[in-house]
Structure 1
Amino acid sequence: MVYTALVKRLDPLIEEEVTIEIEGVEFTGFAFICPYKIEIGKSYPVSMGFTILNELIIHTIQEKKKEIERIGLSYDYYIRGLLHEDTIDAGLVFTDDDEYFSDYPELMNKYIEIKVDRISIEFLRTTTN
């Protein structure tokens, strides 16, 4: 899904680290694809995914909750929401580019929580950038 993201912060030391706000939700992720220069205070089209560095931790939750929650000051997040075949709807839709969810057909269309090591942000090319 494509969103319009407002760039709130660019890390001066970690080139890929970017803090964005989408529909009132602010979070820090990594711009793994950025085909143009981005600036603080400007908005850009983006899509989002996630990165799992070790093992996928996924389980159902009882509460019908859609949210992303940062774990301490790390880049880790809990993503909670409705699981679909290749996305999780946590209020914002995250794409499962690595096909982790295909191993969990019994969890489809259920509310789940996953722990991710980072959120991946792809800045999309448009005719104006």
Structure 2
Amino acid sequence: MNKTLIKILKLNPDDENEATLEIGGFPIRCFIGHCPNAINEGEEHLVELTMYFEDDYKAVEAPERQPYMKNTNNGFSVEIAGHLDSNSLRSITILDDEDIHYDHPELNDKFIIVYADRLQVDFD
């Protein structure tokens, strides 16, 4: 379990499960999975980030070795570029690989782009 320092940029007043966070300098819309205490825009927190995938998710070798994250639609879908290193994806933060290395063994130890259904944030 890796903890990541984030800053809360925006909380959706119409959806308590949606927050836009600054992660490694990138604004990312995330799904709030666990949040036992009140949070406010502008605050910084150490959180756990988890990638969630559809059964037929896409992962490909990246043409460039530049880590990034970006939302791909108006929902929670996110494109993540980073180095797949056994059981972690080293992007703008280190994420557990959620079995990408099993589903795509040909991408192990390579710089990849993976398309996640959502990036979930869990606050302590």
TM-score, with length taken from structure 2: 0.86
For the 8 Å contact 1:85–1:102, the answer to whether it is kept is no
Q: Is 1:117 aligned to residue 117 of structure 2? A: yes
Q: Is 1:77 aligned to residue 70 of structure 2? A: no
In the TM superposition, 1:27-106 aligns within 5 A as 27-97=28-98, 99-106=99-106
For the 8 Å contact 1:88–1:94, the answer to whether it is kept is yes
Identity %: 23
Structure 1 gaps, min length 5: none
Structure 2 gaps, min length 5: none
Change (3 A) 1:120 1:72: same
Q: Secondary structure at the match of 1:37?
A: coil
Length, aligned pairs only = 123
TM-score, with length taken from structure 1: 0.83
CA RMSD, 1 decimal: 1.7
For the 8 Å contact 2:26–2:70, the answer to whether it is kept is no
Question: How far apart are 1:42 and its partner, in Å?
Answer: 1.2
